[in-house]
Structure 1
């Protein structure tokens, strides 16, 4: 698994790094039950689909599940996040990043996404959005997103989890 981030070094120069972490990944069929609703993962049928770049979206009974796998860039995440806010889908969502092999997103990308979401979400009701990453993924990017979202005053509530079960419990609570 490869995780990317950027920061300024002690001398003010940008330092872009990628870390390689061993991870077998998960491509087979699996399911989640969120708020009593089962979401099944369609089994991958070719090597191009597994672990290819993919964000799948499934909506059932008031909850939207975004499954992110393979290598993902900021633009792909932004496209789906913006669409989720523009269309009256659900008031609860779970973004599952546990099958991601590489995230191409900088701090500036995260800040830009929050700014775009802020413009779109004006006057919209609050939603609950859980962001889930595996224990091997540096979930710092998710926490950074949540911090920027809180500072910007986005109406939705975001929280980062290492475990999907804890995310589901949080989504169930009012």
Structure 2
């Protein structure tokens, strides 16, 4: 937890110790839970702290960081996206793939419940985060003259954030706004 606290402190010089401690606890507890949940039930778990805390790959930190990244995009926008129009302006492969991934939420939850397998939700979280990060790398969410397109992209970011939050909540994993 101390290691996570120090890393969060480096990245967020504007946050107080109490907030940094909360982030460190959320990441530490989430890491332990995720590492256990994502494994097959019949396999021995080998825990590697350094690998588990990586912001890349199938780790809780990667998921939480993706959530924090989405939160930051919405914060930078400076306004709440308006959900009134369809996503008809979204046309890139990255936008469509993220929409499709979000749409799989109910199927994933039903599958996990029917098979008593929380691992299914963990895998969905990872796949969702991968799709979001690909979208983030290739699609300029806020950098566009077309206000309607910016709004629809912000709605997509909001939907991702909400879906990941619900999914992680089902696994008992917190979603810090900052990392």
**Could you tell me the TM-score, scaled by structure 2's length?**
0.29
Structure with the largest fraction of helix: 2
Structure with the largest fraction of strand: 1
**Could you tell me the TM-score, scaled by structure 1's length?**
0.29
Structure (1 or 2) with the larger CA radius of gyration: 2
